[in-house]
């Protein structure tokens, strides 16, 4: 898959998340997907995302940086949102926060099969 | 600069850090480099790294994933090390810890001009 295709596919994946179009998620995430080494599968991956939106109703994924070298995509995602309760164990409770997530994905057969994500928890702590 | 060159240049940069060869750092880091939006310059970037090695005498950078699309390099770095005191505000105090850093760099004229780094602080907390 060419670099431009993988970039376009990734942008479509992020759009799917922002639409919370969970029926469409299987177009982008493999049945055996893992996240930070946990073998979530598609159903566990979807459950994680659904839980994120329950915790953060105004969650929106914005791509700030995109680096593509097949089969990998690296992305810096920017968030400006309002977790309603605790988030990452921090007492956010309805405060608006901004933070980044740096994440690297491995694609296989045009689907995410591994994701390695780090959220900038220190940045959130500094805002509380 | 071709992708292979940028990957090789990045590996040489990581080797420079592991040798703590600070005189050589200017080959890899721009005079006006910034780190997480802070305009460190080469001297500030070097001071940050020297401080890291003071806090963590057995610090070693290991590339786990590398994604190159000029002018960007994304990397997942793995650490297995022993901070002597506090680290990221956490009371590590000589405990051996393992964690990752996901970082995206922008190169300009074959030098790092911006770095956007997130360290997996939650993973460290889980080990304390």
Q: Residue B21 pLDDT > 80, yes or no?
A: yes
Percentage of chain A lying above the pLDDT 90 cut: 97
A75 touches A10 (CB < 8 A): yes
Q: Say how many CB pairs under 8 Å bridge A and B.
A: 66
Q: Residue B70 pLDDT > 80, yes or no?
A: yes
Which chain B residues are within 8 Å of A120, Cβ to Cβ? 118
Q: How many domains does chain A have?
A: 1
Assembly ipTM: 0.95
Q: Nearest-CA distance from B2 to chain A in Å?
A: 13
pLDDT tens for A36-52 read: 999 999 999 999 999 99
Can you tell me whether residue B25 is helix, strand or coil?
helix
CATH number at residue A84: 3.10.450.50
Smallest Cβ–Cβ distance between A118 and the set B72, B89, B100 belongs to B100
Q: Residue A113 pLDDT > 90, yes or no?
A: yes
How many Å apart are CA B116 and CA B36, to the nearest integer?
5
State which residues form the domain around A69: 3-125
Smallest Cβ–Cβ distance between B118 and the set A67, A72, A118 belongs to A118
pLDDT tens for A73-110 read: 999 999 999 999 999 999 999 999 999 999 999 999 99
Percentage of chain A lying above the pLDDT 70 cut: 97
Which strands sit side by side in the sheet containing A111-119, from one edge to the other? A29-35, A111-119, A97-108, A72-81, A62-69
What pLDDT is attached to residue A44?
A: 97
Q: Residue A4 pLDDT > 70, yes or no?
A: no
- pTM: predicted TM-score of the whole model, two decimal places: 0.96
Q: Nearest-CA distance from A86 to chain B in Å?
A: 14
What pLDDT is attached to residue A108?
A: 96
Residue with tokens 């599968």: A41
């Amino acid at each position: 898959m060419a670099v431009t295709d993988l970039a376009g596919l990734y942008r479509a994946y992020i759009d799917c998340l922002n639409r919370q179009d969970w029926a469409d998620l299987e177009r982008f995430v493999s049945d055996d997907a893992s996240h930070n080494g946990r073998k979530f599968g598609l159903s566990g991956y979807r459950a994680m995302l659904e839980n994120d939106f329950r915790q953060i109703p105004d969650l929106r994924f914005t791509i700030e940086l995109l680096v593509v070298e097949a089969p990998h995509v690296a992305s810096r995602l920017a968030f400006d949102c309002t977790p309603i309760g605790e988030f990452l164990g921090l007492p956010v409770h309805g405060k608006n926060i901004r933070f980044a997530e740096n994440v690297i994905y491995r694609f296989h057969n045009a689907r995410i099969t591994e994701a390695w994500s780090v959220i900038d928890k220190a940045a959130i702590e500094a805002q509380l």
